[in-house]
């Protein structure tokens, strides 16, 4: 956590405050920014999609436009309410509190954006494998705890590019408005190396990539013969 820790001490505190002020003026969602990545990788089968930890429902609403049925699950009551309001006019989109381990199998797509670090890593990956039909796809945008030198460098790159991306995505100065409920958040416990090992164990052939915005992505298509 060295780069992140540096922003919590001495000069780093002032640098972090200046960066936060800049980011507040030109904000962007590090999660929603990956919706186009997901939309460009949808599987051929488009019957049934599941968004785990659907939050305020932006992604499950988008999935509703591409799948016969899109279902969001979230443990948080305020998030479910926000999702239900967001998807009110979308008859093929449903949201509830079904635990991951009770979701029925046969899905074409499972998505998780900024959620996997809230779950028990290996059991959650096994559930995704169970839930997907053969040929189905897992698309995940994750957060990891920085540990190695490479992690620190990517953190630094994310920090430096963050305001630039903000200017590009949101060139005008934002007014403080949001009435949205805040997301339940959690610091990531697993490093990217640990996540890689767990993913390769449970989802052979999965592709894991580092991304800017303090994120990584996981893409896996369940073998058709499984």
Ligand X SMILES: C[S@@+](CC[C@H](N)C(=O)[O-])C[C@H]1O[C@@H](n2cnc3c(N)ncnc32)[C@H](O)[C@@H]1O
Q: Which residues bind ligand X (CB under 6 A)?
A: 31, 52-55, 73-76, 79, 100, 113-115, 118-119, 183-185
Judged by beta carbon, residue 31 or residue 162, the one nearer ligand X is 31
Distance of closest approach, residue 170 Cβ to ligand X, in angstroms: 17
Distance of closest approach, residue 118 Cβ to ligand X, in angstroms: 4
**Can you list the alpha helix ranges (DSSP code H) found in the chain?**
2-6, 10-25, 35-39, 58-64, 77-86, 121-131, 149-169, 192-202
> What is Dmax (Cα atoms) for the chain?
56
Distance of closest approach, residue 51 Cβ to ligand X, in angstroms: 7
Judged by beta carbon, residue 45 or residue 55, the one nearer ligand X is 55
Judged by beta carbon, residue 12 or residue 90, the one nearer ligand X is 90
Q: DSSP per residue over 176-222, as a string? A: S---SPPPP-----S-HHHHHHHHHHHSTT-EEEEETTTEEEEEEE-
DSSP 95: E
139 φ, ψ to 5°? Answer: -125, 120
Judged by beta carbon, residue 26 or residue 117, the one nearer ligand X is 117
Token readout for 134 is 């053969």
Distance of closest approach, residue 57 Cβ to ligand X, in angstroms: 8
Judged by beta carbon, residue 12 or residue 98, the one nearer ligand X is 98
Q: At what angle do helices 192-202 and 121-131 cross, to 10 degrees?
A: 40
Distance of closest approach, residue 33 Cβ to ligand X, in angstroms: 10
Cα dihedral 189/192/194/196 (nearest 10) = 140
Judged by beta carbon, residue 6 or residue 142, the one nearer ligand X is 142
The CA distance from 211 to 222, in Å, is: 23
Distance of closest approach, residue 144 Cβ to ligand X, in angstroms: 14
């Amino acid at each position: 956590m060295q780069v992140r820790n540096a922003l919590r001490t001495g000069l780093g505190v002032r640098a972090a405050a200046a960066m936060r002020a800049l980011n507040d003026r030109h904000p962007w969602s590090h999660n929603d920014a990956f919706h186009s990545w997901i939309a460009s990788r949808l599987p051929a089968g488009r019957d049934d999609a599941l968004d785990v930890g659907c939050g305020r429902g932006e992604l499950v609403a988008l999935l509703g436009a591409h799948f016969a049925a899109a279902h969001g699950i979230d443990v948080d009551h305020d998030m479910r309410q926000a999702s239900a309001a967001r998807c009110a006019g979308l008859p093929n989109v449903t949201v509830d509190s079904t635990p991951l381990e009770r979701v029925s199998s046969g899905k074409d797509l499972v998505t998780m954006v900024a959620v996997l670090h809230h779950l028990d890593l290996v059991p959650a990956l096994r559930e995704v494998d169970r839930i997907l039909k053969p040929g189905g796809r897992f698309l995940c945008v994750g957060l990891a705890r920085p540990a190695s030198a490479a992690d620190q460098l990517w953190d630094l790159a994310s920090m430096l590019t963050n305001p630039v991306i903000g200017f590009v995505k949101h060139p005008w100065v934002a007014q403080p408005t949001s009435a949205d409920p805040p997301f339940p958040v959690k610091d990531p416990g697993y490093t990217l190396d640990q996540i890689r090992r767990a993913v390769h164990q449970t989802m052979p052939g999965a592709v894991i990539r580092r991304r800017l915005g303090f994120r990584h992505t996981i893409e896996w298509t369940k073998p058709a013969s499984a």
